[in-house]
Structure 1
């Protein structure tokens, strides 16, 4: 099982959730929202070799935490993974667009200077400017669009740029999400939960419940669930090889 976008540190009992992930053998990308959360969140992965921690600076709080870009630059050598980063064009965040674009651009430049990273990207209502920024920096690494919700044209452009995608049960509950997933390359797809933000049955989704996406993908692709799971595990292994992220 794979959860390639999860906020472990934001659960009420993050240590307990991390232990449960380790005990179940779940592969987890534990994303952060601020560089200052890095050290505490990375500690959750101690003794859990299948949990990786990403260094992030979330676009929704970029205007509050833009002063942490320098800390981001100091920490970039600690991990092969970056996230959650990106842009958010929703009305309540668009008024901070200048701060968002400043932070996102600086973070991508830092990643490029460091030799590239595996990037978990937020692009709600902002797919085109996110892709513009990625295209302008060919050495930035491997972009993975988390919970992509752009247009079919933006999806086609992302595919042409070599982007990967992570999808979860919450995304695949909608007709639009299912149609987008149907068009995504099967060899560049991973599953996610986006817990605890994503919900199931009116409560926060647990990381292992991201596996519900396997059933949805099985129906979309017309493949047995076991074959879908093997395909995604193969994708994860290849991502590790291609990105130089030893032991993804």
Structure 2
């Protein structure tokens, strides 16, 4: 199983969640929301070869943590993975849009200067602006749009720009999410939980809940779950080869 976007450090007992991921053999991208969280979150992956930690600065925190951009750049050589980063067009964040753009633009520039990174990107209500920024920094790395919820036109543009996508059971619970997933390239899709933010059955999603996305994706692709899992694993191998 693959969970390519979760917040291990934000569970009540992150060490227990990390141990369970290890016991289950999950491939995990553990994303962070601030550079100052990097060191502690990376420690959760100690001894776990299948857990990677992303260096992030979440757009919803950009206005509060933009002073950590220097720290972000200092830490960037320590990882091939960056996330969670991006832009958020929610009305409650409208006043902080300039700070979001400043942070996202500088992160993409830093990634380009570092030779490119694998990027887990937030684009809620901001897909066009995210794609504009990626188009301006084509060498920033491989963008993976997590829980993409844009329009069909924005999806086509993202595909043309070479974006990947991470999908979870919460996203696939909606008709819109399934429709978008059906139009994404099969060889650029990975699964995610977005736990503990995403909710399933009235509780926080766990990394192993990505298994609940498998039958949904298989149905969308009109094939069995075994072939679906093999495709997703092949996608992960391709991505990690690109990241190495």
TM-score for the superposition, normalised by structure 1 = 0.98
Deviations 1:91-145 (A, max 9, x none): 0112210000000001111000000000000000000010010011111000000
Counterparts of residues 1-248 of structure 1 (less than 5 Å): 1-244=1-244
Task: Provide the secondary structure at the position in 2 that maps to 1:216.
Answer: helix
Q: Aligned partners of 1:8 and 1:243: how far apart in 2?
A: 21
1:196-232 Cα offsets, whole Å, 9 max, x none, are 0001110001100012111110111111011100000
| 1:13 shift after superposition | 0.2
User: Cα offset for 1:243?
Assistant: 2.4
Q: Determine helix, strand or coil for the equivalent of 2:72.
A: helix
Give the secondary-structure state (helix, strand or coil) at the position aligned to 1:96: helix
- Give per-residue Cα distances to partners, 1:130-185, cap 9 Å, x unaligned: 00100111110000000000000000000000000000000000000000000000
Q: Distance in 1 between the 2:71 and 2:13 partners?
A: 26
Greater shift, 180-189 or 211-220, is seen at 211-220
Q: How many residues align?
A: 244
Runs of 4+ aligned structure 1 residues displaced above 4 Å come to none
Specify the SS of the correspondent of 2:111: helix
**2-structure distance, mates of 1:122, 1:229:** 25
Alpha-carbon separation, structure 2, partners of 1:227 and 1:94 = 43
Q: Secondary structure at the match of 2:227?
A: helix
Distance in 1, matches of 2:76 and 2:36, equals 12
SS at match of 2:33: coil
Q: Any gaps of 5 or more consecutive residues in structure 1? A: none
Partner SS, residue 65 of structure 2: helix
Distance 2:205 2:138 in 1: 35
Q: Take 2:123 and 2:161, find their aligned partners in 1: how far apart are those partners?
A: 15
- In the alignment, the residues of structure 2 paired with residue 109 and residue 137 of structure 1 have an alpha-carbon distance, to the nearest angstrom, of 7
| DSSP-derived class of the 1:55 partner | coil
**Runs of 5+ unmatched residues, structure 2:** none
Cα distance in 1 for partners of 2:223, 2:192 equals: 19
C-alpha distance in 2 between matches for 1:219 and 1:195: 23
Aligned-partner Cα distance in 2 for 1:3–1:127: 22
Normalised to the residue count of structure 2, the TM-score between the two structures is 0.99
